Amino acid sequence: MPEQLAFTIEVFLNGLMAGVLYALVALGFVLIYKASGIFNFAQGVMALFAAMTLYGVMNGQVPFAHLINAIFGTEIHYFGWNVPALAAILLTIAVMVLLAWMVQRFIFRYLVGQEPIILFMATIGLAYFLEGVGDLMWGSDIKTLDVGLPQGINETIDEVTFGWFGYGFFIDNLDIVASVVAIILVAALVLFAQYTKQGRAMRAVADDHQAALSVGVSLNFIWILVWSLAGFVALVAGIMWGAKSGVQFSLSLIALKALPVLMLGGFTSIPGAIIGGLIIGVGEKLFEFLIGAPYLGGATENWFAYMLALLFLVFRPQGLFGEKIIERV
């Protein structure tokens, strides 16, 4: 069955590409969780907010235009200029860093040492707040984010695989770009954590707060740093997903897909987030193709990841790479 095999490989590759995007979102969770023990429910909304901001800046939208118009009876919506993609991305990064600072200054500074569930509730609040502010700033309409990434079928792969299998693979250029960007991003983060002073301080804080203080590390600074990094990762995820399926509210729901990824990979492991993302991406596509569609009536992609996570919770609750949970009596 060479044709069946070719299909399977194609599905596998597409699964990998989807997995990269899941991993990207999961990575944002891991960064914050490791350094502060906060499970950031707002990570998905941060991706949405970042994508909206990027779109707004690029297209010269006036922030809070509706609010301003409603109060002053004006009719302004656009500045009338367009900002080049690269400059807009830099500006959006600045906005995400500012957001990180505000989150630390106005929320988590007051919650140091609180129970994890309280920190979690605070991030749920943050998620709703940020969603509201995002809509208010940039409007809630669906936007097509185009930062000039190549899209559509990759002709070369199509032709080459046609030569091999007599069947051309459909691989989206955007997925390839997303994968490359994700790999570079992860490599950069790992290098940063391993070889820079701030990275070393970051790992120190992730490991032991008290010890970190005793070697002169400001927890506050590190927390702002990890929230900024998570904001940056959210922006990258937002660009990729936004280019794929438009900037809209459902973007924030991809965060939910990151949950099973984290169950698999472990909440504290960066490699875990990546491998977990890939397993979920490949797993759900292959399962749908080989078992779901032929035997189960399809649409298994919606629940496969969660079932897999459930199995992990039962048999290996710390995930593939998470720290082993040992309790001494």
> Could you tell me which stretch among 113-121, 146-154, 191-199, 285-293 binds another protein (CB under 8 A)?
191-199
Phi then psi for 152, rounded to 5 degrees?
Answer: 90, 180
User: Among 31, 48, 65, 204, which residue interacts with another protein (rule: CB under 8 A)?
Assistant: 204
Asked if 203 touches another protein (CB under 8 A), the answer is yes
Rounded Cα–Cα distance for residues 202 and 214 (Å): 14
User: Among 181, 192, 246, 318, which residue interacts with another protein (rule: CB under 8 A)?
Assistant: 192
Residue for token digits 């298994």? 300
Specify the residue, 151 or 194, whose C-beta has the smaller distance to another protein: 194
- 38 within 8 A of 123, measured Cβ to Cβ: yes
- Give me the least distance between CB of 270 and another protein, in Å please: 12
Asked if 195 touches another protein (CB under 8 A), the answer is yes
- 60 within 8 A of 78, measured Cβ to Cβ: yes
Give, as ranges, the residues between 207 and 236 that touch another protein (CB under 8 A).
207-208, 210-219, 225
| Pick from 226, 321, 224: nearest CA to 276 | 321
Asked if 81 touches another protein (CB under 8 A), the answer is no
Neighbours of 12 (CB within 10 A): 14
Residue for token digits 């919770």? 313
> Could you tell me which stretch among 69-77, 99-107, 170-178, 203-211 binds another protein (CB under 8 A)?
203-211
Specify the residue, 205 or 240, whose C-beta has the smaller distance to another protein: 205
Give, as ranges, the residues between 95 and 154 that touch another protein (CB under 8 A).
none
- Give me the least distance between CB of 188 and another protein, in Å please: 9
| Pick from 77, 48, 76, 47: nearest CA to 61 | 77
Neighbours of 180 (CB within 10 A): 11
Specify the residue, 188 or 313, whose C-beta has the smaller distance to another protein: 188
DSSP letter for each residue of 86-143: HHHHHHHHHHHHHHHHHHHHHTGGGGTT--HHHHHHHHHHHHHHHHHHHHHHH-SS-B
User: Among 46, 201, 236, 263, which residue interacts with another protein (rule: CB under 8 A)?
Assistant: 201
User: Among 200, 286, 293, 320, which residue interacts with another protein (rule: CB under 8 A)?
Assistant: 200
Give me the residues that bind another protein (CB under 8 A), please. 192, 195-201, 203-204, 206-208, 210-219, 225
